[in-house]
Homo-oligomer: A and B are copies of this chain.
Amino acid sequence: MTISAGTTLRTLRERKPLVHQITNYVVMNETANATLALGALPVMAHAREEVQEMVVLAGALVLNIGTLSPHWVEAMLLAGKTANASGIPVVLDPVGAGATRYRTETAKRILDEVDVAVLRGNQGEVATLVGVAAEVRGVESIGVGGEPAELARLVAENLGVVASVTGAVDHVSDGDRVLAVANGDALLAAVTGTGCMSSAVTGCFLAVKREAPLEAAAEALVAFGVAGENAARDAKGPGSFHVNLYDALAALDPSTLDGRAKIS
């Protein structure tokens, strides 16, 4: 399967897949707007009464544990299992895994009970889930030992997922191959929820390329990273960068995107 963020983005904008997101209170507006700016349709629904009916309408399901509570965990499991039964790909963003037992255990429980296609997290979060020592301060990854490329490979292999591990350079692995994506800008770390947005964008790409989750996850990070680079150009700080980011996602040009990809 070839890698072409431009081709997948073009398909995405034609099909406008619905991306069902059960995510945290902090970033709901932001991930919905990132999804819409990219060209897909977001829907947020978390009640046990409706998640099963909603998810089967969707092209992908994104689960994000950023502001957990028991009802939401139940809804995530219910939606995730229903997605699996219908062949709808699931992205998990284990926000803050490693910071509290509740987050770590919930992320592990979702990985146990749901077939997760792509696990998108920072190094500290994903390291925690495979027992590699890591320091997580709140929802920030402070320090992890070892090589990030090898960490991505190990996580993918151990958990049976595509691991999409973001940082200064991102690494995406299916346990066998490892792709490094060097797109992005330091200002992404200055705005809350950009990690969550990259998970939403991963869901968008996966919705139109579910047969190739490794490639879809890498392409999503290329697209999001290039949008970040464009948004940084005339940004005066995190506020204007954040605004520019939606403009840049909407303005992404499928015909030039692959030329911008820093992927290896």
Give the number of times this chain occurs in the complex, counting copies.
3
Contact of A192 among B26, B32, B237, B242 (CB under 8 A): B32
Secondary structure dominating the interface of A: mixed
Q: What B residues does A16 contact at CB under 8 A?
A: 137
How far, in whole Å, are A115 and B101 apart by their CA atoms in the complex? Answer: 26
- Interface residue count on the A side (C-beta < 8 Å): 61
Q: Which of A108-152 contact B (CB under 8 A)?
A: 137-140
Min CB distance A239 to B, Å, is 3
If A26-B29, A190-B36 touch, whether A54 touches B247 (CB-CB below 8 Å) is no
Q: Is A191 an interface residue (CB 8 A)?
A: yes
How far, in whole Å, are A242 and B20 apart by their CA atoms in the complex? Answer: 23
Q: Which of A63-87 contact B (CB under 8 A)?
A: 66-71
Closest 6 CB pairs of A and B: A239-B246, A237-B247, A43-B138, A50-B102, A50-B100, A32-B192
